[in-house]
Structure 1
Amino acid sequence: MLLYLHGFRSSPQSFKAQLIQQRMREWGVARYYACPQLDVSPARAIAQAETAIAAARGGDPGQPLTIVGSSLGGFYARWLGERHGCRTVLLNPAVHPWTDLEAYLGAQPLWHGGGEVLVERRHLQELLDLRVDAISQPERYLLLAATGDEVLDYRDMLAAFPGARTRLIQGSDHGISEFADYLDEVLEFCGYGPGGVRPGA
């Protein structure tokens, strides 16, 4: 299973999520893809991710799992990756979102489909509860960090994932507009290729 976790105010309609799903469809492995619409509450978002993982594994905790998280989804992915001991890809991940989201308290518009979410102060504590002080197995992580990220500081990302396989992207932006250039590298790290699931994945 490949679990994609979208970012703050985003959705399964994000362009990176769509690119991953389309490539997996082309490779005949789309059945392994999951991307739930995450709740604004971090605690509920984690519960949704855990439900998706449990459903995909069908009661067998030994079923392979990879997680890809973007921005706030990258923060969640870090916590889940440590919990499940699985390969984890982080795309411009949030490192200390309990601080970053302080400026977004209140009603915030969604990027896709209209509507809004209400960010409450209790959500900041929920984020703090998911803090990971240090990753345990750096070789399980792939980090894509863009120096041109206008929302988050790439240097915080590098400091949070020492020893991880890292792709430092010069320039670009928070959304990694040229993500298509890195798509196959990400999926290969997750254990997928043109022939389907790679041996050992």
Structure 2
Amino acid sequence: MDGLILYLHGFCSSPASWKARLLAEAMAERGLAEKFHCPQLSPVPAQAMADMGQWIEAANEPVTLVGSSLGGHYASFLAETYGLKALLINPAAVARIDVGKFVGEHVNYHSGERFGFTAEHAAQLSAQVLPPTPSRYWLWLETGDEVLDYHDAQAFWFGCRQSVFEGGDHSFTRFPEMLPQLIEFAGL
């Protein structure tokens, strides 16, 4: 099977996140562990995208992007930049939110590493907003997302395939049951 999954985690998150670990385990159970890549993203948006761009350019198989929260924004940027398909999970619609409210000190949920998010970083995020090509995307949204208003994602990715589920939360509680569909979407 040809194809790779590049999983992009959210703000203050890491490859140790619940969804990243579940997807890694599901891939390994299917004998596809080497088809899964989930790096620690730089907290600097321009650096994160430069790093992921290099990885995509070096990949010798088709890449499917999977992004959660801020990782959804990144996946959308990379999908448009490289012509890839992307599955977005409760994604951050950067064009529709005030990214300046994130300026300040933050702590990575898993490593405890502290980092600063500056006005320059917020401007880098805003500069990464590209209009979506609807045929590339599948959005998974839960209406109970307490961090991001799912209506923002519905509006920004209007015309894209969208699965909207009642309830849940920002973690996307239905993730375990949706894993087979994610792997199928990637063609694996």
TM-score (norm 1): 0.87
Match of 1:188 among 178, 181, 184: 184
3-state SS of 2:59 partner? helix
**Matched residue type, 1:135:** P
* Bigger mean CA deviation after superposition, 47-56 or 166-175: 47-56
Q: Distance in 2 between matches of 1:153 and 1:11?
A: 22
Superposition misfits of 4+ residues, deviation over 6 angstroms? none
3-state SS of 1:182 partner? helix
TM-score (norm 2): 0.93
Runs of 5+ unmatched residues, structure 2: none
CA contact (8 A) 1:98 1:127 kept: no
CA RMSD of superposed structures (Å): 1.5
Q: Distance in 1 between matches of 2:85 and 2:97?
A: 27
Runs of 5+ unmatched residues, structure 1: 58-62, 193-201
- Residue equivalent to 2:87: 89
Q: Distance in 1 between matches of 2:19 and 2:64?
A: 16
- Residue equivalent to 1:135: 132
- Residue equivalent to 1:8: 11
Q: What is the identity percentage for the equivalent residue pairs of Structure 1 and Structure 2?
A: 41
Q: How many residues align?
A: 185
Q: Distance in 2 between matches of 1:99 and 1:75?
A: 12
**Matched residue type, 2:14:** S
Quote the offset at 1:107 in angstroms: 1.1
Q: Distance in 1 between matches of 2:49 and 2:15?
A: 16
Deviation string 1:111-165 (CA, Å, 9 cap, x unpaired) is 0021211111100110111011x212x2221100110001111111111112222
**2:119 is the alignment partner of 1:121:** yes
**Matched residue type, 2:105:** A
CA contact (8 A) 2:96 2:152 kept: no
Quote the offset at 1:53 in angstroms: 1.6
**2:19 is the alignment partner of 1:21:** no
